[in-house]
Structure 1
């Protein structure tokens, strides 16, 4: 009997749901298999059962059918030797590109040449807007109308320039704006294998360049006339530089890290908000860049109409294909991979928006991707953009089987995939895909089979005894079907079937449900895409801003996936577990590394002193504080101008500015006294005059009155 104690026990109201063992993220799949404690479930002593079905080969409605013969008896020795001969020798694994800092990883996936190209696209649209405003009102170039946080999806355009630079850009290239030099990129020897050439001997890089050359127009070069034109307008309407664009991306990511993507932009520039937003750039400047953000260089709808007819994703296809190609190169996959879809949040009325009631977002853009299982990483992805109005180009795919073949072929051209296993759900599982992976790429697969498909054997639809399982092997082929009867509360007894081309796995768990080992393997290896979605797609740390433009949503998906990939690469190179690295800490570090150079290059002339103090609070550098306090002598200490710096504050005092605001209200004296007594007691003070000030509204290291004295 437990001994009673007088200690007060606090019970949390939030209930944490414990994940079952097959849904827990594990580091080693072999250790996870041992945790299941399998029991032998050999079928040698069972009577032979034969199964024949005219199964549809693909997932589409018009897919051909073929008669397959299965049996519970098989020659295990012959089958094992056949599997060992084909997929028993996997290629090299876990060779990682040497990336150890967040900024280094960002420059690898988003090279300087590509950044300069996007900046040129933005400047092209800015110049077009300024010219139109001059034509409308030539006498007053400074006139402007406020823009709303919700920018309409203005006709995005495409630009067409060669893309040889981003393939050959060095990992450590300097960010010099539009004059970046091209340096050949040296990949590790493990990546320079025969996969860099196709069967006909064509270089893969050359082929990709020739295809992407047709997606954009030429780079826009800023002229002296453009600079003179921009000088007629306010500074926040000026042209964009590479350093400022990187700071813009840093604020974009930081906004998602603090989960402020759905809030209005004006809330991020309030006095009590984070100082980093006001310190980096004005609110009007951020909105101006977001409004003119372009990924292909087009200004009018006619500039993209010829390509939009063949590809509905023409507005951002160029940037998407460039960065996805970079995802697949720095790391060779492990033994297990998974393919699934990610629904990225989007409520804009666009024709390729997808509805899925099983996803948290319900509506969004559908990205089909191949992900790792042991750690969060996306190797390749393809977006569903709908059927074009005219003849489709090479990026349009119809049918789930074609998406699977495209993604596997795309990844096999860059890394070795022989000996790997691909896990998929019933949407992707088909006989055609199983044989395609097994014969062409020497890969195995594991996936649940949809029982409602045409030609599915009727014997497998009928469930057996509760928690019983049977394995059927294909005669003369590598496919095997495992039937498992489950008892559920809502549907009663149901039959679940898993198709695989792996070696025979005979065994069930020793618990009461007696789950087959192949089902456990499916559960362990199916969480790859879910691990990526949990880091941004479900709303947590998603960088998508409050904007109606669908291309901005696709760009946000690119940034979020790139951030997670960089985080995983650095963890693998530094000997850490990628699953245990905190996304918030890493994302904030990456954002600060991107925007810090802009803070030091920003012109302080005319900038309010309160903003410079926010720059000091964001960076911690005393040079900004010396500029505010007018300390020009480097030998003079800051404490001479701030005598109350780092000195404790006596409790019991309230903010004088808050009390003054209450006294100015037209209310009774009793109500004023009640509101003053309700004020919280601040723990901060002005470092110059020493008065107690609240750090939400009336204090930024120095109070407003002291700042006014410093400016005199």
Structure 2
């Protein structure tokens, strides 16, 4: 009988049937005892231990395997209250006297065997109680603890339907319920903005593409761009001459001050490059038939464009502060136009109730301290741009460029409140749609107190979410919710768990029709969020159609062109809002490039009608080639355009003559002369 007990103990200690594992396994040591050591342990045990061990040897299912800790271990009943559930972590060393006393009073419980580790005097770690829970016992409760000493609050045997909307996990201790979150959906509606959207600038159906663009790129901006470019060029040339570094072949050796007309043509070429993409900037002036372009060579020479581009500047570098000095700003290089564009975007348009806040990116892979990496963007590296846009149109109401974490508070809540406050959208009943990067219960409650609704997804680990909601187990299509004041937190099971916050909805379902015609049920706030979350994405989509893609090592130049296109995108939407005939963003930029270079002082002004040299090249009349008729005739282009502009109805006056170079039907007198000498021939 004694040998049977010894073999059984040896099995326990050799770890053949399983083990208890801890996060810090190096604190425990498996011990392999000899027969003599096992006899000593059995002889030092009391009769109760021997009796229970003999009973366990007859029951093959009650195998116990343990690991010996590296500390002196005693019965947990001998420890003070602070040591009842000690985790295997490093603690303050104990006095020698206390350790010796614990060694003397060490008792081997009936369900385990302890052995002192040889490392106890070296590491002096705290006492630990390692225990395997037998069958039927509750987790964390010692097997031989009397029933009247067990705290029933530790029990987790609640039914899944005991708490409304929450399925508890019977294998874990439930989270303490947050008293502020309730399962009662007492919805208190917030005020809703019913004012329709409105254009606040003076444009109408007669406004041209250039007129709409001047809302965001004014004549004063072009004049300041010209002045700062000339200033930087003169400073650079003087510096090179003082150091005798101005080479004869340098582009600055033949520099001349830029004029307003040249700066407008320069911007026209920039917009042309957005819609006509070439591998290199020089390819726009190439004579290769594959790469040749008619626009750029006739508007400006390649040398002159290169000179302006190399000296392009927005501010005076001599006034720039260094990091650490008072008045330093990381965006100093573009700060004047950056601030002006923000103000004009706010003042030009009043959005409707629903707006979206999200981040975009200005692609840039060069060196700058506030460059970011955004994994989910098509362009991974660049400058982050926070934007507020109308949910339905994509009009950018306000924006902010991330310039580093030490400039302003860049926490998600601070960014949202700052953007809405600067846009004058708080306390007006607007609804803001956010993604999980920004959403939090605290932010939504702050917005509700400022009279602004909010809807968005939220990360399940966000601080403030009710723990019982996060731990709820749901089947597909089921929903669980909690409410605190105006904030509704919801968990909905689709293909995966979806967590949302809202101050505009109740916990109800709505119908959604899929593309295949099937109808499914989804929570109302999920349907509303999916419909209105794309405001900023619409604006980004427009910018990606025609970006200025030529590389540069100067971050501010890349950001300046990005801001220019952002203003053009807003101008494009204003143009379509006041015109019945809609155009695409590509057509808008194409016409803008043409109208920027249309000036009586230019040698070349491209037009849509006929060939590109309508006002400067030589033109000759010819009879319209006959077809089936003996004398072929067509409607005069000048007469038709003039009549349509004056009365709204095109004239049907026909002529037998046309311009051989332009291919346009014109009357012999005076339409031929007017068409080739007047820029606005339809208003003469």
TM-score, length of structure 2 as denominator length: 0.60
Q: Which residue of the partner structure matches residue 307 of structure 2?
A: 288
Q: Which residue of the partner structure matches residue 456 of structure 1?
A: 465
**Higher gyration radius (CA):** 2
User: What is the Cα deviation at residue 505 of structure 1?
Assistant: 5.8
1:94 maps to 2:96: no
User: What is the Cα deviation at residue 305 of structure 1?
Assistant: 6.0
SS at match of 2:493: strand
The whole-number CA distance in structure 1 between the counterparts of 2:539 and 2:605 is 38
Q: 1:256 to 1:464 in 2, by over 3 A?
A: same
1:560-599 Cα deviation digits (max 9, x unpaired) = 11111001111112246xxx641111111111111222xx
Q: 1:618 to 1:436 in 2, by over 3 A?
A: farther
The whole-number CA distance in structure 1 between the counterparts of 2:275 and 2:454 is 36
Q: Which residue of the partner structure matches residue 353 of structure 1?
A: 371
1:310 maps to 2:311: no
Q: Which residue of the partner structure matches residue 409 of structure 1?
A: 421
1:622 maps to 2:638: no
The answer as to whether partners of 1:90 and 1:418 remain within 8 angstroms in 2 is no
Instruction: Tell me which of 133, 136, 143 is aligned to 2:248.
Output: 143
The whole-number CA distance in structure 2 between the counterparts of 1:644 and 1:284 is 42
Q: 1:48 to 1:334 in 2, by over 3 A?
A: farther
The whole-number CA distance in structure 2 between the counterparts of 1:575 and 1:307 is 53
Q: 1:437 to 1:457 in 2, by over 3 A?
A: closer
The whole-number CA distance in structure 2 between the counterparts of 1:452 and 1:618 is 64
The whole-number CA distance in structure 2 between the counterparts of 1:613 and 1:246 is 13
The whole-number CA distance in structure 2 between the counterparts of 1:303 and 1:506 is 56
SS at match of 2:388: strand
Instruction: Tell me which of 492, 508, 513 is aligned to 1:484.
Output: 492
The whole-number CA distance in structure 1 between the counterparts of 2:412 and 2:367 is 24
5 Å-filtered alignment, 1:242-641, equals: 242-260=260-278, 263-271=279-287, 272=289, 273-298=292-317, 310-387=328-405, 392=407, 396-412=408-424, 418-440=428-450, 442-461=451-470, 462-474=472-484, 477-487=485-495, 494-504=496-506, 506-509=508-511, 511=518, 514-537=521-544, 540-575=545-580, 581-597=583-599, 600-602=600-602, 620-626=612-618, 638-639=619-620
The whole-number CA distance in structure 1 between the counterparts of 2:605 and 2:529 is 55
Structure 1: runs of 5+ lacking an equivalent = 1-45, 53-65, 148-232, 488-493, 605-611, 627-637, 649-686, 689-712
1:366-407 Cα deviation digits (max 9, x unpaired) = 00000111112100000011145xxx4xxx333121111110
SS at match of 1:341: strand
User: What is the Cα deviation at residue 111 of structure 1?
Assistant: 2.1
Q: Which residue of the partner structure matches residue 35 of structure 1?
A: none
The whole-number CA distance in structure 1 between the counterparts of 2:575 and 2:456 is 31
User: What is the Cα deviation at residue 87 of structure 1?
Assistant: 0.8
Structure 2: runs of 5+ lacking an equivalent = 1-160, 168-176, 513-517, 628-659, 662-684
SS at match of 1:371: strand
* Bigger relative contact order, structure 1 or 2 (CA pairs below 8 A, ≥6 apart): 1
The whole-number CA distance in structure 2 between the counterparts of 1:344 and 1:647 is 56
User: What is the Cα deviation at residue 95 of structure 1?
Assistant: 4.1
Q: 1:257 to 1:127 in 2, by over 3 A?
A: same
The answer as to whether partners of 2:388 and 2:398 remain within 8 angstroms in 1 is yes
SS at match of 1:514: strand
TM-score, length of structure 1 as denominator length: 0.58
SS at match of 2:477: coil
Q: 1:564 to 1:387 in 2, by over 3 A?
A: same
User: What is the Cα deviation at residue 518 of structure 1?
Assistant: 1.0
Q: 1:575 to 1:505 in 2, by over 3 A?
A: farther
Q: 1:143 to 1:97 in 2, by over 3 A?
A: same
SS at match of 1:315: helix
Aligned length: 449
User: What is the Cα deviation at residue 555 of structure 1?
Assistant: 0.6
1:596-650 Cα deviation digits (max 9, x unpaired) = 22xx424x6xxxxxxx698999974533103xxxxxxxxxxx327xx899999xx
User: What is the Cα deviation at residue 317 of structure 1?
Assistant: 1.7
Q: Which residue of the partner structure matches residue 236 of structure 2?
A: 129
The answer as to whether partners of 1:615 and 1:624 remain within 8 angstroms in 2 is no
The whole-number CA distance in structure 1 between the counterparts of 2:353 and 2:452 is 10
The whole-number CA distance in structure 1 between the counterparts of 2:607 and 2:455 is 53
What is the RMSD computed on CA atoms of the aligned residues? 3.4
Q: 1:343 to 1:411 in 2, by over 3 A?
A: same
The whole-number CA distance in structure 1 between the counterparts of 2:404 and 2:273 is 30
SS at match of 1:250: helix
